[in-house]
Structure 1
C-alpha cells in the first residue's frame, strides 16, 4: 500500500511538472477572422481581418482588420434593427501547422451600439493549444435600442485576451505517505492498540458466513419450515 501511494505521488508530481513545462513553453498562433453580415441558414463568410498572437504565454497580439464598406455598414445596421445575430468564424493556425475552426455569435445590435468595440477571448488548454475563441462585447450586456450613425460603424477596435487554464490545488501526498509510514512502524512495534469491536475486526469472516446461511435458507425453504414444525 505504501509503495503504491509512493508511486502515485511520484506520478502526480511528474504529471504536474510536465503540465508546468508545457505552460512555460511559449508559442504563437495566427487567427484568420471572417464574418457573416447577411442572416441565412447557410451563412456566407467574408474576410474581416487577421490576428497574430506572438506570445501565448504573455498574450501579445497584433490585430489587423479591414474597414467596413458602406454596403457592409448598411447590412450590419439592418441586422441590428431586425434583432439578427452577427457571426464570426475563426480559423486558428498553430506554429506546428495544425488548423482548427471556431464559431461565435453575438447580437448584431450589441455590436452596433458598442460601435464595433469588441473583445476576442482565446482559451488555451494545459498544452498551450487553442480550444475556443469567443466574441464578446465588454461594454454591453444587452441591446438598448440606440440609433448608431453609419459613420460610427466603420472600424473594428478589437482587444484580444488569452485565457490560460486555472491550476487547481495540489494535494499534500508526501505528508500523507509519511503519516502512513509512521502508523505502520508503530503497529510493527506494538505501540498502537486496536480498540475496534469484534465485529469491526472480523467482519470479513462474519459476513460470508451470514450470507451463506441466508442463501441456504432461501434454497431450502421446505426444510426450514419442517424444521420449525418439528421443534413445535
Structure 2
C-alpha cells in the first residue's frame, strides 16, 4: 500500500513540475467597441501572438484605422465616453478565455493611440487577465488631436507573472504545538502569569458592579453624612 501511495505522489510531482516548466504560447484576438450603446458591436482591431510565455516575446499585427473609425474615437472622446476592448485568448492547450477592459476615450485620443496591454499570468502560466492602459497620460486635458495622428495603434505589450507570497512555516508551528502538548502531558508546562492575568475575567464583573452601584446610590456612597444631630 505504501509503495502505491509513494508512486502516486511521485507521479503527481513530476506532472506538476512539468506544467510549471513548460513554456507555452498564446494568441490574443483584439476587438474594440467604438460606439457608446448598451450592447456594443465589437469590430476587429488586430491580434497579438505571444511566442513565449516565459520570456514574453510576441508579435503584434494591427491594421490601420479607417476614417470612420477615427471619427468614432473622436466622438467618444468629445462625449467623455469609454473605449472598450475585448481580448479573446487562445491558449496552447486549446482553452479560450475572453477578457474585457476599457479606458477613457479622451485619454486614448490625447495619447495619440499609444496604449499598453498587460497580460497577467498565474504561477503555472495561465493567462488570468488582459488589461488596457494609456501610455502617456492619466487625465483628459481637452487637447485637440488631429485625425492624422489617430491612424493606428502603437501598442506596448507586457507579459507579467503573478508574484507568489511567502508560504507559512507550518512545520515549525506544528513542532511547537507538539512540544507544548508533550510538556503538558509531563506536567512540565507551568503557568507563570500574574494573579490578575489569570483571573481578570472574574474580577472585572465585580468591579463594574461596584462602580455602577456607587453611581446609582450616591447617598450610600457618602456614608449618610447629613444625618448628624442639629439641635
Q: Is the pair's TM-score, using the shorter chain for normalization, greater than 0.5?
A: yes
| TM-score, length of structure 1 as denominator length | 0.69
Query: Measured at CA, do residues 141 and 21 of structure 1 come closer, stay the same or move farther in structure 2, by a change above 3 Å?
Result: farther
Which has the higher mean CA deviation after the structures are superposed, 18-27 or 87-96?
A: 18-27
Deviation (angstroms), 1:23: 4.1
Unaligned runs of 5+ in 1: 1-10, 201-232
Give 1:140 deviation, angstroms.
Answer: 1.4
- Which of 128, 133, 154 matches 1:157? 154
Q: Which residue of 2 aligns with 1:224?
A: none
Q: Specify which of 173, 178, 195 is matched with residue 176 of structure 1.
A: 173
* Residue 62 (structure 2) pairs with residue 36 (structure 1): no
In 2, Cα distance between equivalents of 1:145 and 1:17: 57
User: How far does residue 124 in structure 1 lie from its aligned partner after superposition?
Assistant: 2.1
> Do the aligned residues in 2 keep the contact of 1:22 with 1:126 (CA within 8 Å)?
no
1:46 Cα deviation (Å)?
1.2
2:110 alignment partner, one of 108, 113, 116? 113
Superposition CA RMSD, Å: 3.0
- Structure 1 counterpart SS, 2:51: strand
Instruction: For structure 2, list consecutive stretches of 5 or more residues without a partner in the other structure.
Output: 1-8, 199-231
Q: 1:120·1:160 contact (CA, 8 Å) conserved in 2?
A: yes
**Looking at both structures, which has the greater relative contact order when contacts are Cα pairs under 8 Å and sequence separation is at least 6?**
1
Offset at 1:49? Answer: 0.4
Report matched runs for 1:1-232 at 5 Å.
Answer: 22-183=19-180, 191-193=188-190
Report the CA distance shift for 1:99/1:25 in structure 2 as closer, same or farther (over 3 A): same
